[in-house]
C-alpha cells in the first residue's frame, strides 16, 4: 500500500505523514503503556481488522516508531514496543487526551467501546504535578477485572498496567460502570463519597488523591 503524503516540507505535515493515518495514533496510545502482543492490540482496538493492524504495525516498524520485542518470563512471547522516537510522541498524545477531555468527550455513545485500562494513560493526562510536590506514594486502581497503578514521586507520575510491585499506599476499588460514570464527569472522589467506590490505605495519600488526578472542566465547542 502506497503511503499517502501531504508533500509539504513542514514539520507538522511530515509528522502527520507518519502518524496521521486512521488507527496509527491509537496504536501509539496503546504502546505508550508498555509492550503489547498482537492479540492485545486487536482486543483493545475493536473494529481494527487483522490485516489493517498488520499493515499499521509494519508501517510503524518501517518508520522507526516501533519494533518487535520478546516479553520477559513467564510470557516469553513476541510483542511490539515503541522506539525512542515513538516514545517521544507521548507528550503529544497526552496533550490530545487533555484537549479531548475538555472539548470532545461528552456522554458515551451506544456504539463506543470502553476499556478501563485506557485510564492508565488517562491518569497521566489528568495528573497535576504541582499537587504532587513532595509526595511519594503508590496508588493501585482495581476497576472491575482490570488492575493498574500509579507511582507518584515529587511532581512526577509513572502509570502501568498490573498491580503495584510493592504494597500500595492507597487502593481504590470500583466497578466498571461506576468508573465509567466517574470518567463521564462525576469524578473518583465523588464515587467514593457516594459509596460507588471504596478507598483504603494511608490517610494522607487518600486525602491528596483528589488533587492529583483531576478531570478538566468540560467546555462546549459551540457558542
Instruction: Please report the pLDDT score of residue 193 as a whole number.
Output: 83
**In this structure, what C-alpha cell is assigned to residue 207?**
486525602
**CATH code of the domain containing 149:** 3.30.1050.10
Where does 135-218 have alpha helices with state H? 176-181, 188-194, 203-212
pTM comes to 0.89
Instruction: Please report the pLDDT score of residue 86 as a whole number.
Output: 98
∠ Cα 171 176 178 (to 5°): 85
**66 with 140, same domain?**
no
Whether 163 is covered by a domain: the verdict is yes
Please tell me the distance from the alpha carbon of residue 123 to that of residue 214, in angstroms, as a whole number: 9
Number of neighbouring beta carbons within 10 Å of residue 23:
16
Tell me which residues of the chain have a pLDDT lower than 70. Answer: 1-2, 185-186, 223
**201 with 127, same domain?**
yes
Q: Total domain count for the chain?
A: 2
**122 with 208, same domain?**
yes
Look at residues 68, 88, 108 and tell me which one is the last residue of a structural domain. 88
**82 with 138, same domain?**
no
Instruction: Please report the pLDDT score of residue 7 as a whole number.
Output: 95
**81 with 163, same domain?**
no
Q: 65-97 in b/e burial notation, b at 16+ Cβ within 10 A?
A: bbeeeeeeeeeeeebbebeeebeebbeebbeeb
Give which of 113, 108, 88, 94 is closest to 216, Cα–Cα.
94
**15 with 74, same domain?**
yes
**126 with 82, same domain?**
no
**193 with 121, same domain?**
yes
Whether 96 is covered by a domain: the verdict is no
List pLDDT tens digits, range 97-148: 999 999 998 888 889 888 888 999 999 999 999 999 999 999 999 999 999 9
Please tell me the distance from the alpha carbon of residue 205 to that of residue 102, in angstroms, as a whole number: 27
Look at residues 69, 88, 107 and tell me which one is the last residue of a structural domain. 88
Whether 97 is covered by a domain: the verdict is no
Q: Which domain holds residue 186?
A: 116-212
Please tell me the distance from the alpha carbon of residue 217 to that of residue 177, in angstroms, as a whole number: 21
**Is the separation of the CB atoms in 59 and 21 below 8 Å?**
yes
Instruction: Please report the pLDDT score of residue 19 as a whole number.
Output: 96
**In this structure, what C-alpha cell is assigned to residue 64?**
522507526
Instruction: Please report the pLDDT score of residue 186 as a whole number.
Output: 65
Instruction: Please report the pLDDT score of residue 50 as a whole number.
Output: 95
Amino acid at each position: 500500500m502506497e503511503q499517502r503524503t501531504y508533500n509539504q516540507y513542514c514539520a507538522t505535515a511530515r509528522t502527520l505523514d507518519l502518524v496521521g493515518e486512521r488507527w496509527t495514533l491509537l496504536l501509539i496510545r496503546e504502546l505508550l503503556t508498555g509492550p503489547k502482543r498482537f492479540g492485545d492490540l486487536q482486543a483493545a482496538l475493536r473494529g481494527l481488522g487483522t490485516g489493517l493492524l498488520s499493515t499499521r504495525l509494519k508501517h510503524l516498524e518501517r518508520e522507526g516508531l516501533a519494533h518487535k520485542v520478546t516479553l520477559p518470563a513467564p510470557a516469553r512471547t513476541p510483542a511490539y514496543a515503541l522506539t525512542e522516537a515513538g516514545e517521544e510522541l507521548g507528550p503529544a498524545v497526552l496533550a490530545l487526551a487533555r484537549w479531548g477531555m475538555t472539548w470532545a468527550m461528552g456522554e458515551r455513545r451506544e456504539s463506543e467501546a470502553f476499556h478501563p485500562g485506557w485510564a492508565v494513560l488517562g491518569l497521566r493526562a489528568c495528573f497535576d504535578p504541582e499537587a504532587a510536590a513532595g509526595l511519594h506514594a503508590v496508588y493501585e486502581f482495581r476497576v472491575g477485572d482490570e488492575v493498574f497503578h500509579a507511582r507518584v514521586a515529587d511532581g512526577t507520575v509513572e502509570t502501568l498496567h498490573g498491580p503495584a510491585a510493592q504494597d500500595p499506599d492507597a487502593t481504590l476499588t470500583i466497578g466498571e460502570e461506576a468508573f465509567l460514570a466517574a470518567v463521564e464527569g462525576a469524578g473518583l472522589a465523588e464515587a467514593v463519597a457516594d459509596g460507588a467506590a471504596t478507598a483504603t490505605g494511608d490517610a494522607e495519600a487518600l486525602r491528596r488523591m483528589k488533587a492529583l488526578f483531576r478531570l478538566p472542566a468540560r467546555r462546549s465547542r459551540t457558542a
